[in-house]
Amino acid sequence: MSANIVGWAHTPFGKLDTETVESLVVKAATGALADAGVSAGDVDEIVLGHFNAGFSPQDFTAALVLQAAPELRFKPATRVENACATGSAAVHQGVRAIASGAARIVLVVGVEQMTRTPGPEIGRNLLRASYLPEDGETAGGFAGIFGKIAQAYFQKYGDASDALAMIAAKNHRNGVANPYAQMRKDVGYDFCRSESEKNPFVAGPLKRTDCSLVSDGAAALVLADADTARSARKAVSIRGTGHAQDFLPMSRRDILAFEGCTVAWQRALAKAGVALSDLSFVETHDCFTIAELIEYEAMGLTPKGQGARAIKEGWTQKDGRLPVNPSGGLKAKGHPIGATGVSMHVMSAMQLVGEAPEGMQIRDARLAGIFNMGGAAVANYVSILEPFR
């Protein structure tokens, strides 16, 4: 019993001063149900992805989805959390509910409101997704963690600053066409490559343009079984999924290998019965540019230590052999933690039914890959999507 995406909604990502977690949840949930043509009363289960970790005073948020419609009262609703992969954790839980036969229709919502939190507190909140006994005193929060990873990568494989700047420039250029993106500006390679007052070093070799944005926002989708999908206005099948959870302490693994990412990709591709080369595009977790670079290697696009080839030779550009982050990725779109994974699924579904915004649409997109990561390659989720047949 396959799960299929039959409707979706997406708020703008950014600094949304007039919104609350509740209002964002309600807007996304209401929009997704309307887009799917599904009444609230027909929903069998609700899954909310919300990291929080101190960002919002309101906790215990699963029931906030019920505010979208009176008919959602008494529906089973669960909040899930798996650091920055929280959104995909919610989607995958919905997929399992349908695959088990426990539900025909599942409403999945992802949300986060981060920008009302002072900067130092944001860093402390995010650092909770690391192993505190080893990394709890890291300067710069999670940027500091990935700054260490970037430094270790440079020491092992050589200075990859050019490649990181090219990744940042690519994603910012792609984000211009995404109306939901927080930053819709093509800042160019030279700006990303050069240290400046507006682009200072943040942690190790990482500059401001190497880091994703602090964001507010929500996204939602409606999952349905195959019988329901057949009568839907549009439908995208989740053909395969993979989830691999790795050790939390980085000291227990090769942090430059992102092995959990590799395992999740292998599992999802095997379930889908396809190869990486079959994909039309990938939405991947570029919380930092070094993450996207290592993910090229972990997904099997290049051998270890050679990820720079993929960006320098144009493979991952929007017109390349495997476009990566045509939405602009977390780098341009923004990264409201609980919403990110759901957003990735929405952006990919848009591509596959030809509803992506003008300038963002990948021509003849037939198969999408999604990688969403929590922590430093700890929670690893992959989804393979295709148009419903």
Positions marked catalytic: 84, 335
| Residue where the block lists tokens 């007052």 | 197
SS3 229: helix
Q: 30 near 252, Cβ under 8 Å? A: no
Distance, CA of 36 to CA of 4 (rounded, Å): 11
| Spatial distance between the Cα atoms of 189 and 371, rounded to a whole number of angstroms | 25
Tokens matching residue 247:
């050790």
Classify the C-alpha dihedral 94-16-178-165 as positive or negative. Answer: negative
**Considering just the CA atoms, what is the radius of gyration of the chain in Å?**
19
Sign, CA torsion 52/58/59/63: negative
Q: Which two tokens stand for residue 297?
A: 């290697």
User: Strand, coil or helix: what is 279?
Assistant: coil
206-207 vs 236-245, strand pairing mode? unpaired
Give the list of residues 6+ apart from residue 190 with CB closer than 8 angstroms, or none.
Answer: none
Q: Containing H/E element for 8? A: strand 4-10
Residue with tokens 């940027």: 143
Distance in angstroms (rounded) separating the CA atoms of residues 228 and 264: 28
CB atoms within 10 A of CB 91: 31
Q: What is the DSSP string of 34-73?
A: HHHT--GGG--EEEEE---TTS-S----GGGGGGG-GGGT
385 and 239 in contact (C-beta within 8 Å)?
yes
Query: Which DSSP string corresponds to 281-342?
Result: EEE---SBHHHHHHHHHHTTSS-TT-HHHHHHTTTTSTTSSS-B-TT-HHHHH---HHHHHH
